Amino acid sequence: MARTRSNVIYFEVEGQPLQDVRQVSFDDNREGAEEQPTMNRSGRALGYRKGRLRTEGSITTLVSIPREFDWHGTLRAGTILQCSYEEEGGARWQMRDVLITGVRKGGEIDGETTEEITFRCLDHREEP
């Protein structure tokens, strides 16, 4: 199920706020979707495991000189990030264990060039 958060008013990577992020979209997938029985030591079935939830998505950001954040360097280094963002309605979301999988040139928003950063994360949840 793909969801897009287009009215991002605040975005933060590793505690560093970024002003150029315009949109965050993500898709929650179940990895290992086939159900497998689980058992205890005596061999009695306890239930079924449905796989691990994995989130893939993209971040759309404006290209600025100098760049706010080195997305290409993070991609090359394979660094795991912690990100959070706030929507216009006030809901705050947190993404843990984010791995950048690609950086490519996007289109234009209001006449400004954008980049699209694709990522995978293991945990995406709303902060209380």
Instruction: Give the model confidence (pLDDT) of 2-51 as tens digits.
Output: 566 666 778 888 888 888 888 888 777 666 555 556 666 776 666 656 66
User: What are the structural domains of the chain?
Assistant: 2-31+50-126 (2.30.110.20)
Quick one: CA dihedral 125, 21, 82, 16, positive or negative?
A: negative
Strands 52-62, 112-126: parallel, antiparallel or unpaired by DSSP?
antiparallel
Model-level pTM?
0.72
Cβ burial of 117 (10 Å; 0-12, 13-18, 19+) is buried
* Residue 28: DSSP 8-state: E
| 50-107 tens-digit pLDDT | 666 678 888 888 887 888 888 888 889 888 888 888 887 788 888 888 889 999 987 7
User: How confident is the model at residue 48, as a pLDDT?
Assistant: 59
Cβ atoms within 10 A of the Cβ of 59, count? 27
| pLDDT at res. 51 | 61
Asked if 76 contacts 56 with a C-beta cutoff of 8 angstroms, the reply is no
pLDDT score of 102: 92
Instruction: Return the pLDDT at 11.
Output: 84
pLDDT at 126 over 60: yes
Mean pLDDT in the chain?
A: 79
